[in-house]
Structure 1
Amino acid sequence: GEAAFAHKGGMHVNAVQKVVRSYEHIDPASIGNVRRVLMSDLAGRSNIVMKAQELGFKITSETPELKEILARIKQLEHEGYEFEAAEASLALVIRKILRHREPPFKIEGYHVSIRRDRAMTVCQASVKVKVDGVVEHTIAEGDGPVNALDQALRSALVKFYPQLKTVRLADYKVRILNSGAGTEARTRVLIESTDGKDDWGTVGVHDNIIEASLQALADSLEYRLMKK
């Protein structure tokens, strides 16, 4: 399967960089597979370099920002983030440190409400975003709080970035990180998005499931803009 040539530990990845056959008995491509470098709390400098190169960044073991990137990823992993299925969020972390660029938009605020109207439950979200100093405030309804938030956020941003019209949420997963905390538990949200051509995953973590969802949604749209 896809895990046959996956490498997670920093020592393993470093060895693969130096002598491929030390951990791979055959060329993955010879059987239709690919080498994968995974990011986790076991990751080292070699993991960062190989994964960043795989994501299209020009980086080497001598890149000055490498230490900062590794420290930031370790910090996020400690907070509950997981990047194995959220490489788009990982790419944004690396990009922000390497290129020191401001994000293409900033979420100034949001509000989500749920009300019962006779036999129907109505979910409504309002989002305020700022792009190049211009503030846009949009309200949308959806089939749930996350769907309403997704609709409102994209509606606000499409006015500035028409290419986001094709983006849609393909999958949504929630994991409780500290189940013993009950309703105060920390939540990790993983989102898979698509524009009809490519798929990408993003992650958000927060005590509030709506906030975690918004983080993942915002990363998804920012990553699509990064790809242009």
Structure 2
Amino acid sequence: MLGLQTRRVLLAAAALGLLVATSGCLRLDLGLQVRPDDTVGGTFTAAWSDDFVADAADEGLDQEQLDAFLDALLDGVPGTERTPYSEDGYRGYTASFTDRPLADFSEFGGDDWGYLRLDHDGREYALESHWDLRAAGFLDPGAFADAEILLSVDFPARVTEHNGTLEGRTVTWTMTPGEEYDLTATAVENDGIAFLIAGIAFTLVVCALLWLWQGRRLRRHSVGNPSA
């Protein structure tokens, strides 16, 4: 989710003592939308809690310094459009991106503390991801123990397996610094041939039932009207 430049900024900030420990101080939210044409769109949000912003002001940190920290986080995202973010008591920025090839996410990350693999093979989409948020260079668990780190993936197919939270076709994982996570999800597209065969079979059954119903109706009519 974050690049080498981000980790350097985090280390520098910690070394300078610029960040203070505040409950729920930071929200990082990466959302990916996988499309049927094997492209990916998404958003990445980096935001401070309102409580942290107030406490930071008391510690002598101004808004420009806080925004610079968020900018460093967002620099690792391929998005070109940034919009202000304000929700649930957090405020910051969201970077958006569209039409990224799915192949770009076949080996996303791969450094000391995490990676994400997202592949499409036949009718199956598979996500495999590992994040060691205990690793040096990530958010200091002491200062960011309650930071909220979210990863969500919206699949273009029915999700059959996952170890996150499922809503519709979207799987979401919630993580915190100082922990280690293995994330998995599998989604499978509908088999078009199987659905076609099932549709034909259903149509034949309906036609047969209608034929039987019509035949019984005609026989009943003939019995009730002998002269017919």
TM-score band, normalised by shorter chain: under 0.3
When Rg is computed on C-alpha atoms for both structures, the one with the higher figure is 2
Q: Which has the higher contact order (CA 8 A, sep 6+)?
A: 2
Q: TM-score, normalised by structure 2?
A: 0.22
Higher percent of residues as helix = 1
